[in-house]
Chain A
């Protein structure tokens, strides 16, 4: 027996490898994005923003699969993801 099925909203959830973009000035260092990222694509850095918060940074190994959870739970509208293809074109 198959114990899993494709989610009904799969077309909405389709992901693509992405880059995480951070607006440093908005970040308040809550670490939600770092802790809840399913692929552990982000870590807290030692960089401090103008308000004195330590901010996260994406690891260089390109682990982000583009699920968008970080974007959805960021309390500060500070980060979002851009599909790698578009990001590389520099849009």
Chain B
């Protein structure tokens, strides 16, 4: 819970650019709740917000950087992670967060995602996954389930999706979890764990996109999509993320999947670059 509650201001406004509200997201969009969980997670950790930098790419979730009141960067499509890598390495005191969408991070930015995980750069990546490109009107993306409809898969998707937790875990991420926006408490806690853990931490947030993905797949309104998450999700903490594939129907495994310690890129830098300075 953030601060004292009053009748005039939403407590989360403390961390938001309230002068920019209402935001651009559609009615029922899941990006908003994930941002609310994110700022509550920041509050929970007690991190110094002057030292937090948030970087987003392009798309609906790319707009997150513009609404959170910390140093924030809205960059180009897919390139939030390398931009954040520069920030994190040039000033290791910063807590660098990348908040972006599944298409941005895993398709056009997929190469950067796997390399940042491999390097174990000190960075928290929050991936809002709504299974399609919402901003451009609902095209298939790297996470669209097989058989799902989109404006570019009118007969059903024939393009097998990524299982993102498995992908980043295999690349070496230190922390990997997946929750949905209908699990706000678990999501907030998981984000707080990710924010405070050294190394590359990854939180996948599943959420509704009633305007495009939901409409094209006849999932009903946002509330119906949320109900479907409630019904389909199976909390499976500690499960091997390779088993966490998401189909068009059937169970969705959510939970905190990976939590391990391995030296970060910066740990290696300090040790190995130190050799040059001793000379």
Direct contact of A and B (CB under 8 A): yes
Q: A-side interface residues toward B, CB under 8 Å? A: 13, 19, 21, 23, 25-26, 28-32, 35-36, 51, 53, 68-69, 71-83, 86-87, 90-91
Q: Which residues of B contact A23 (CB under 8 A)?
A: 10, 21
Tell me, rounded to whole Å, the shortest Cβ–Cβ distance linking A79 to chain B: 8
B106 interfacial by beta-carbon distance below 8 Å: no
User: How far does the alpha carbon of A75 sit from the alpha carbon of B32 in the complex, in Å?
Assistant: 4
Q: Which 7 A-B pairs have the closest CB atoms?
A: A75-B32, A72-B184, A28-B27, A30-B28, A82-B5, A35-B223, A26-B22
Interface centre among A32, A35, A71, A78 (most CB of B within 10 A): A32
Q: Which residues of A contact B148 (CB under 8 A)?
A: none
Using CB atoms, name the residue of chain A closest to B27.
A28
Number of interface residues of B (CB under 8 A): 37
Q: Which residues of B contact A30 (CB under 8 A)?
A: 27-28, 210, 221-223
- Chain B, residues 30-66, CB within 8 Å of chain A (1/0): the string is 1111011100100000000000000000000000000
B170 interfacial by beta-carbon distance below 8 Å: no
Contact in complex: B223, A73 (CB < 8 Å) = no
User: Which single member of B1, B11, B221, B226 contacts A73 (CB below 8 Å)?
Assistant: B226
User: How far does the alpha carbon of A59 sit from the alpha carbon of B57 in the complex, in Å?
Assistant: 41
User: How far does the alpha carbon of A77 sit from the alpha carbon of B39 in the complex, in Å?
Assistant: 11
Contact in complex: B32, A74 (CB < 8 Å) = yes
B13 interfacial by beta-carbon distance below 8 Å: yes
Q: Which residues of A contact B26 (CB under 8 A)?
A: 28
User: How far does the alpha carbon of A47 sit from the alpha carbon of B4 in the complex, in Å?
Assistant: 29
Contact in complex: A75, B27 (CB < 8 Å) = yes
Q: Which residues of B contact A36 (CB under 8 A)?
A: 182, 223, 226
Contacts A30-B28, A72-B185, A75-B30 given: A25-B22 contact, CB under 8 Å? Answer: yes
Q: Which residues of A contact B4 (CB under 8 A)?
A: 86, 91
Q: Which residues of B contact A29 (CB under 8 A)?
A: 27
Tell me, rounded to whole Å, the shortest Cβ–Cβ distance linking B184 to chain A: 4
Q: Which residues of A contact B32 (CB under 8 A)?
A: 74-77
Contact in complex: B27, A74 (CB < 8 Å) = no
20 more contacts with CB within 8 A, not counting A35-B223, A73-B33, are A25-B22, A30-B223, A31-B222, A32-B226, A36-B182, A53-B27, A68-B1, A72-B185, A72-B188, A73-B182, A76-B25, A77-B16, A77-B32, A79-B10, A80-B11, A81-B5, A82-B7, A86-B4, A90-B7, A91-B4
